[in-house]
Amino acid sequence: METISTAKAHGGVQGVYRHASTVTGTDMTFAVYVPPHQDGARLPVLWYLSGLTCTHANVMDKGEYRRACAEAGIVFVAPDTSPRGDGVPDDDAYDFGQGAGFYVDATQDPWATNFRMRSYVEDELPALIAAHFPVDMARQGITGHSMGGHGALTIALRNPDRFRSISAFAPIASPLRCPWGEKALERYLGPDRAAWRAYDACALIEDGARAEEILVDQGQADAFLTEQLKPELLAAACETAGIPLTLRMQPGYDHSYSFVSTFIADHVEWHAARLS
């Protein structure tokens, strides 16, 4: 693991790191904020998954999470959204290819070799974090924005014993039923829609996945609300399954990091209460 940069913030350390991933076959970059802590302490960890076109840098530069993490004593981990680099397949569209990994393990060529973000986020990166940072892997929470909200929900629902808290900002609630998701899942996974269900929070819940509770913030002025995000589908799935969902519709807020940064401290505190 290579340290790209470190900087002191709110008494802790914001770092950016790179390593050679065996899962994606590429170098992968990620950000970790470690709050101030006593020597030997093991801290809870909050995973943050970013949205379309983003890298680790978007939330690191615009997310305003460090003060809340320092006060709560939570390690904050932000991976990239896809493999990158020369030789990695890409697409001219912003919503597919590099920057748009959708947190799936692709099965279709040419994507299958590198686009394995599910395995990267679920298995490889957690092992690296556990080996190199002062984390207590028995206390993990996960959150994310947009495509990353979809990733957070689906990863947590598939791994209920690993994640003690789940939240999201404007998540793609049902990729099976929106243009972003239909495009990505068909090209990454093929035409069999049954194979897509492992990457759709509503479908996972319909198929028996459960969570203790979920927190979602959604801007009412979000341009993608009606066509792409559809939080009402998640609300209906959770109601049918008996999963407590706190869905906060925030008047006037859009899809940007102005929205995320406004409510991210609330999410950090919410996770901290469940990871303490």
- Residues annotated as catalytic are 146, 222, 255
Q: Report yes or no: 243 and 235 within 8 Å, Cβ to Cβ.
A: no
Helix (H, G, I), strand (E, B) or coil at 197: helix
How far is residue 207's CA from residue 157's CA, in Å, rounded to a whole number?
A: 11
Token pair for residue 103?
A: 């947190």
Rounded to 5°, angle at Cα 222 from 118 and 165: 40
**CB count, 10 Å around CB of 182?**
14
With b for 16 or more beta-carbon neighbours within 10 A and e for fewer, the 80-96 pattern comes to: bbbbbeeebbbeeeebb
Q: What is the number of residues in the chain?
A: 276
